[in-house]
Amino acid sequence: MSHLDDALEYFTNAARVMDVPRSIEKLLTTPVRQLKVEVAIERDDGSVDVFTGYRVQHNGARGPFKGGIRYHPEANDDEVNALASLMTWKTAVVRIPFGGAKGGVKVDPRTLSPGELQRLTRKFVDQIHFVIGPSLDIPAPDVNTNAQTMAWIADQYGKYHGFEPGVVTGKPIEIHGSQGREEATGRGVALCTRWALADLGRDVDGATVAIQGFGNVGSWAARTLAGWGAKLTHVGDHAAYLENPEGFDVEALAEHVAGSPERSVKGFAGADDSSAAALFAADVDVLVPAALGGVVTGEVAKTVRARVIAEGANGPTTPAAHRLLVDAGVVVVPDILANAGGVTVSYFEWVQNTQRFYWERDEVNEKLERVLRKAYDEVNRLAGHRKLDLRTAAFVLAIREVGKATAMRGL
């Protein structure tokens, strides 16, 4: 099963609950536009390398397309399509007025120098600038891209279209970024975790947590949860898996990663070596996959002992795993809700860019919590009312919203 098959299966499960006609199903699952481009750069040694770039715009019924750009050696049509569709459902679950999109370049950015990375980013913009824009399609950071990448995109886009800071979100604060955007996705994951634990009668204070991925999402989820008294006992990334039953000093771990050439938890003192299998099977209260998709397979799901899974990553759980987890009574807060904090604050950034008026961090965080809490309650209520798991309920809610917008606009 591919990522796209997984995303389609989740969509179809919900569409069947709602009796969506097959023709409308097709309309809601077919991407509006798929662009595949050549990204050719000159390397520092004078040689030329050619990479493939993608931008997929899935559905724009509810507003301009919105979605991240990732740099990863495994990026491909199938994955970008799947991720673009998830953005359509995610923006609808939190009811922000955007559609869904995703982009990427098939490249291992660790093999590029900073200069090469900048040239790659600018060349990618040269190739896609005519399909993005503040009222058209607004990229954001994702795996291996960050505020610096967004700054280059905004600058390069500006060379064609003039000053338009709202063309991307997740920019540095100094150049029209928003307070609270960097930590927003992880903060949202942490909030959903806290609420899911509370629904089980558990306090976040003292809860044990295992997190795969300690990049933007994983590290900020960890830092926020640790700030509320939770204990991170297992962590892993592309280069190492570590465990510490006493709980990691999360701030020190974040500092270690920031200073490590590999941007990894590898080599962090005072922890035991571990493995991905041990992380997923850890006897913890909460499991947060916050790296790549498809990692919680059926085999992995059989080993899970956590009571709550909060999906920081996009598409981390396969449908087979999802069924096993739901049957086992594990509360899975799905990606389209759990990691929607990022796109929510991206929306706030875009609003601030449009108004040229910037908000304080507390205001951003308070608005984020309000939006997410409303979505969390709505999904939970629907799940209870229709006897659905949280993922299916979130999809039902999203399909209903996108379906209504599509019907109102007409063809």
Active site residues: 102
Work out whether 342 is an interface residue with ligand NAD (CB under 6 A): yes
Q: Is 99 in the site for ligand NAD (CB under 6 A)?
A: no
CB of 76 or CB of 185, closer to ligand NAD: 185
Specify the DSSP element, H or E, that contains 70: strand 65-71
- Residue 56 β-bridge partners: 34, 102
Least distance in angstroms from the C-beta of 125 to ligand NAD: 19
x-or-dash string of contact with ligand NAD, 246-265, rule CB under 6 A: ------------------x-
User: Is 291 a binder of ligand NAD (CB under 6 A)?
Assistant: yes
How big is the site for ligand NAD, counted in residues (CB under 6 A)? Answer: 24
What residues between 154 and 193 interact with ligand NAD by CB under 6 A? 185
33-42 vs 48-59, strand pairing mode? antiparallel
Q: Copy the structure tokens of residue 95.
A: 């009811």
Least separation, in Å, of the C-beta of 291 and ligand NAD?
A: 3
**CB of 186 vs ligand NAD, minimal distance in Å:** 8
CB atoms under 10 Å from CB of 293, counted, come to 23
Residue 329 burial (C-beta neighbours within 10 Å; 0-12, 13-18, 19+): exposed
Nearest CB to ligand NAD, comparing residues 31 and 236: 236
- Distance from C-alpha of 169 to C-alpha of 201, rounded to nearest angstrom: 37
Residue with tokens 């309000």: 370
Query: Least distance (Å) from ligand NAD to the CB of residue 384?
Result: 26
Please provide residue 130's backbone torsions phi and psi, each rounded to the nearest 5 degrees. Answer: -80, -10
Alpha carbon distances (Å) from 395 to 80, 99, 254, 329, 346: 19, 15, 34, 19, 21
**What phi and psi values does residue 42 have, to the nearest 5 degrees?**
-90, 125
Nearer Cβ to ligand NAD, position 13 or 185? Answer: 185
Q: Does 202 bind ligand NAD (CB under 6 A)?
A: no
Told to check if 216 binds ligand NAD by CB under 6 A, we report yes
Tell me: does residue 290 bind ligand NAD (CB under 6 A).
yes
Enumerate the β-bridge partners of residue 236: 212, 241
- Closest distance to ligand NAD from the beta carbon of 139 (Å): 11
- Regarding 294 and contact with ligand NAD (CB under 6 A), the answer is no
Q: How far is the CB of 268 from ligand NAD (least distance, A)?
A: 13
Nearest residue to ligand NAD, scored by beta-carbon proximity: 215
Q: Beta-strand (E) ranges in 93-236?
A: 100-105, 137-141, 208-212, 231-236
What secondary structure, in 3-state letters, does 271-306 show? CEECCHHHHHCCCCCEEEECCCCCCECHHHHCCCCC
- Is there a contact between 106 and 76 (Cβ–Cβ < 8 Å)? yes
Reduced DSSP (H G I as helix, E B as strand, rest coil) percent helix, strand, coil of the chain, to 5: 50, 15, 35
Task: Compute φ and ψ for 126, nearest 5 degrees.
Answer: -55, -35
Q: Using the rule CB under 6 A, which residue among 213, 294, 319, 334 binds ligand NAD? A: 213
State which residue, 217 or 364, has the beta carbon closest to ligand NAD: 217
Q: Which is nearer to ligand NAD, 169 or 233 (CB)?
A: 169
119-148 footprint of ligand NAD as x/- string (CB under 6 A): ----------------------xxxx----
The smaller minimum CB distance to ligand NAD, of residues 60 and 103, is found at: 103
Nearer to ligand NAD, 25 or 91 (CB): 91
Site for ligand NAD in 230-249 (CB under 6 A): 236-238
Secondary structure (3-state) at 104: strand
Give the shortest CB-171-to-ligand NAD separation in angstroms: 13
Window 297-326: contact mask with ligand NAD (x via CB under 6 A): ---------------xxx------------
The site for ligand NAD (CB under 6 A) is made up of: 141-144, 185, 212-218, 236-238, 264, 290-292, 312-314, 339, 342
